[in-house]
């Protein structure tokens, strides 16, 4: 009797020990799986710094990046372009406030003048989007909290890029002044930035400012030259000719009667800003959001070519023009985005407006 009981007890102890081992093994597997999942989630995050001269097209781009799940905007830097940097900062804060992120994403006031002065004299009232960059629309209700704007731009961008070496993509939607200054003051950042994405320049000499230059490159040709010649990583440029392709220019009626018919607070802000400067025959050009979409959804890019590139600084008629080495197409670090999937862009815009 004693022997049988002892053997039975020993057997039960072994079973219990085996069950305990199985439980521990299962727990280890769960922890390991969760750890790998967390690591994968961290690895899948695409960190960006967005440089804007806000403009409503900048606002669409920023909003698209905000609503893309795996993209994290580490900072927004403001540069003089459509208007002065204070107005740019106000416009950015207005968008961030509309989605409740004004305290989450730092907004920096960058350069308020181009590298070489004096700049050409421009009447603020003649600017397409008015003197304030948002078509001088008077908004009802509360105003953005301007105390949130920061001024220690270059040092803070350096800290971010140093913290996330080789992880941060720099998306430039205005003149390249801030990035050029960053490269000069902190040359290490030329190695640490993962890649650069630019709305600007031209590939066939077709410009929208003076004779042969695109607005952002003409706004600071020296800055564009510094970036193109000093950054050796991947530079992706969506030029003016691509932004103005018939297939990517949207019908104004569609913009307001389809895309604009929503309670989305960002769209409600941008509706009057974009309606005011458009004439009855004008179409809607979402230039900057195309760059953002080419970054978040590269499968939307249907045509691209790679070149060595430079920026014309001395031409009497061509200052600010992006010059491509056509004789050696396929070499170099500058990729020109020549076309995008129109249906895909439209689908993404409708999804964005319906958020």
- What is the per-residue pLDDT across 42-54, written as a single tens digit (0 to 9) for each? 558 999 999 999 9
**Cβ(206)–Cβ(242) under 8 Å?**
no
Per-residue model confidence (pLDDT) at position 43: 59
Question: Which of these ranges, 2-6, 14-18, 111-115, 227-231, has the smallest mean pLDDT?
Answer: 2-6
Best-predicted range by mean pLDDT (2-6, 12-16, 120-124):
120-124
State the average pLDDT over residues 11-18: 49
Over residues 96-140, the pLDDT tens digits come to 999 999 999 999 999 999 999 998 887 777 789 999 999 999 998
- pLDDT for the residue numbered 330: 97
Based on DSSP, count helices (H) and strands (E) in the chain, helices before strands. 13, 11
Residue 340: is its pLDDT beyond 60?
Answer: yes
Angle ∠(331,333,336) on CA atoms, nearest 5: 90
Distance in angstroms (rounded) separating the CA atoms of residues 324 and 238: 13
Sketch the domain layout of the chain as residue ranges.
1-42, 45-353
* Per-residue pLDDT, 305: 98
pLDDT at 16: 54
Q: What is the mean pLDDT of the chain?
A: 90
Please tell me the distance from the alpha carbon of residue 268 to that of residue 40, in angstroms, as a whole number: 36
Higher pLDDT, 355 or 129: 129
Residue 29: is its pLDDT beyond 70? no
Q: What percent of the chain has pLDDT over 70?
A: 88
Calculate helix-pair angle for 56-66, 287-296, nearest 10 degrees: 20
Lowest mean pLDDT among 115-124, 211-220, 283-292, 306-315: 115-124
Average pLDDT over residues 64-77: 98
Mean pLDDT score, 264-287: 95
The vertex-230 CA angle with 296 and 108, nearest 5°, equals: 55
Q: What is the pLDDT of residue 127?
A: 86
- Alpha-carbon distances of 311 from 46, 214, 226, 251, rounded to whole Å: 29, 11, 9, 33
pLDDT in tens, 240-275: 999 999 999 999 999 999 999 999 999 999 999 999
Poorest-pLDDT segment among 145-154, 190-199, 206-215: 206-215
CA–CA gap between residue 176 and residue 114 (Å, rounded)? 9
pLDDT at 31: 43
Reported as type and span, the H/E element at residue 192 is helix 189-192
Predicted confidence band of residue 355 (pLDDT cuts 50, 70, 90):
confident
When pLDDT is averaged across residues 53-77 and rounded to a whole number, the result is 97
Question: Is it the case that residue 35 has pLDDT exceeding 50?
Answer: no
| pLDDT tens per residue across span 136-166 | 999 988 899 999 999 999 999 999 999 999 9
Q: Is 327 exposed, middle or buried (0-12, 13-18, 19+ CB in 10 A)?
A: exposed
pLDDT above 80 (res 205): yes
Mean pLDDT across the stretch 222-234? 98
Say if CB 287 and CB 59 are below 8 A apart: no
Top-tier CATH class for 45-353: alpha beta
Query: What is the predicted pLDDT for the residue at 25?
Result: 46
């Amino acid at each position: 009797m004693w022997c049988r009981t002892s053997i039975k007890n020993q057997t039960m102890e072994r079973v219990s020990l085996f069950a305990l081992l199985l439980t521990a093994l299962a727990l280890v597997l769960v922890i390991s799986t969760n750890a790998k999942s967390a690591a994968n989630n961290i690895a899948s995050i695409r960190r960006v710094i967005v440089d804007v001269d806000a403009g409503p097209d900048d606002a669409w781009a920023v909003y698209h990046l905000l609503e893309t799940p795996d993209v994290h905007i580490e900072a927004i830097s403001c540069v003089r372009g459509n208007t002065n940097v204070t107005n740019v900062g106000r416009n950015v804060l207005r968008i961030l406030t509309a989605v409740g992120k004004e305290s989450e994403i730092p907004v920096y006031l960058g350069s308020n003048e181009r590298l070489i002065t004096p700049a050409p004299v421009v009447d603020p009232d003649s600017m397409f989007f008015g003197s304030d960059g948002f078509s001088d629309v008077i908004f009802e209700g509360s105003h953005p909290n301007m105390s949130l704007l920061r001024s220690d731009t270059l040092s803070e961008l350096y800290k971010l890029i140093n913290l996330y070496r080789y992880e941060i993509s720099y998306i430039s939607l205005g003149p390249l002044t801030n990035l050029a200054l960053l490269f000069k003051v902190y040359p290490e950042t030329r190695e640490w930035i993962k890649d650069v994405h630019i709305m600007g320049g031209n590939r066939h000499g077709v410009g929208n400012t003076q004779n042969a230059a695109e607005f952002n490159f003409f706004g600071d040709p020296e800055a564009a030259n510094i970036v193109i010649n000093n950054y050796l990583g991947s530079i992706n440029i969506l030029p003016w000719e691509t932004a103005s392709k018939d297939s990517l220019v949207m019908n104004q009626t569609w913009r307001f009667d389809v895309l604009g018919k929503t309670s989305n607070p960002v769209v409600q802000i941008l509706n009057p800003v974009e309606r005011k400067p458009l004439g009855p025959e004008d179409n809607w050009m979402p230039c900057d959001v195309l760059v953002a979409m080419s970054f978040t959804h590269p499968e939307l890019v249907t045509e691209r070519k790679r070149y060595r590139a430079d920026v014309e600084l001395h031409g009497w008629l061509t200052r600010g023009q992006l010059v491509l080495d056509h004789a050696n197409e396929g070499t170099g670090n500058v990729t020109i985005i020549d076309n995008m999937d129109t249906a895909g862009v439209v689908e993404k815009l409708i999804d964005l407006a319906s958020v």
